[in-house]
Structure 1
Amino acid sequence: MADPKEGGTIKKGQQEGLKFAVSILEEHGLPLGLLPLADVIEVGFVKTTGYMWILQAKKVEHNFKLIKKLVSYDSEITGYVEKKRIKKLKGVKAKELLMWPPVNDIIVEDPPTGKIQFKSLAGITKIFPEEAFAAGQ
């Protein structure tokens, strides 16, 4: 099987990596605060397939205040980015009552409604206002 990272652009370090991750989100019409990263080691993106990977020094938990939702980001996050969507996402979990179901699909509604959907393999779909994931949230 071919390496999904083959032919990818790689940026190393917190500043370059974060800037690159935000530019990928922006280019695909996704909220810029979707991936609150810390201690970024590497961010990579393969333009032809949309494959993106992010390596951080450690797991990060972020509380999205507007929607009162705690989200966990593993030290390695991978997924396929396309217009208004991230699919086959790995490494992101949202706290749901006492469980942490993995989020594997993020979709910004198109035509725009100001809403964003999060789907898990467990069949849970949650819809939130996009503004909850704006930069700085």
Structure 2
Amino acid sequence: MSGMITEELKAKAEYYYGDEKCQEKSKFLLQEVGLPRGLLPLKDIIECGYVEETGFVWLKQKKKIEHCFEKIGKLVSYAPEITAFVEKGKIKKLTGVKTKELLLWVTLNEISLDEPHNEKLVCKTSAGLFRTFPASAFELQEDLNKKEQEQQQPPISN
């Protein structure tokens, strides 16, 4: 797996070290492609990188973590190394992310927004199975708070 991130690849990439910088960059990238910023709740990120020309992304964290998305009651496992290709509204060829379905861990390989509404995330496995969840379940709390405040503001009229 970790053979994918070669020095050759790094030569074409924008990459960073350290948890704080990588948290900031990974959330920014998710936002740029229109996905919820809470989709990759990693801890202790050591390194992250992005190759703009291909959309290839990698994230390395100190150890595997599990995160429960409370709103949908889903337990997700994130490996020490995660790789993917990102594009507008979609994460493809995802590695290192599994979700618990009944008693089994299932590997996810694609996450995308439903077109045209972009209110749901479709999570697919390599076997072609998929589940749909509200995109809001993966939002950061601060982003949800901001959206709520914006909706409560009366429109400015001239």
What is the distance in 2 between the residues matched to 1:24 and 1:113? 17
Compute the displacement of 1:116 (Å): 0.6
Report if aligned partners of 1:84, 1:108 keep a CA contact under 8 Å in 2: yes
Partner of 1:44: 49
Compute the displacement of 1:6 (Å): 4.0
Q: Where does 1:13-92 land on structure 2 (aligned, <5 Å)?
A: 13-92=18-97
Compute the displacement of 1:39 (Å): 0.4
Report if aligned partners of 1:90, 1:104 keep a CA contact under 8 Å in 2: yes
Q: TM-score, normalised by structure 1?
A: 0.94
Check if 1:131 corresponds to 2:136. Answer: yes
Percent of residue pairs bearing the same amino acid type: 45
**Paired residue secondary structure (2:105):** coil
Compute the displacement of 1:110 (Å): 2.3
Question: Which amino acid in structure 2 is aligned with residue 93 of structure 1?
Answer: K
Aligned residue-pair number: 137
Compute the displacement of 1:71 (Å): 0.1
**Paired residue secondary structure (1:101):** strand
Greater than 6 Å deviation, 4+ residue runs: none
What is the distance in 1 between the residues matched to 2:38 and 2:11? 27
Task: Name stretches of at least 5 consecutive residues in structure 2 with no aligned partner.
Answer: 145-158
Give the structure with the larger helix fraction: 2
Check if 1:122 corresponds to 2:127. Answer: yes
What is the distance in 1 between the residues matched to 2:11 and 2:58? 12
Task: Name stretches of at least 5 consecutive residues in structure 1 with no aligned partner.
Answer: none
Name the Cα RMSD after superposition: 1.7
Bigger radius of gyration, 1 or 2? 2
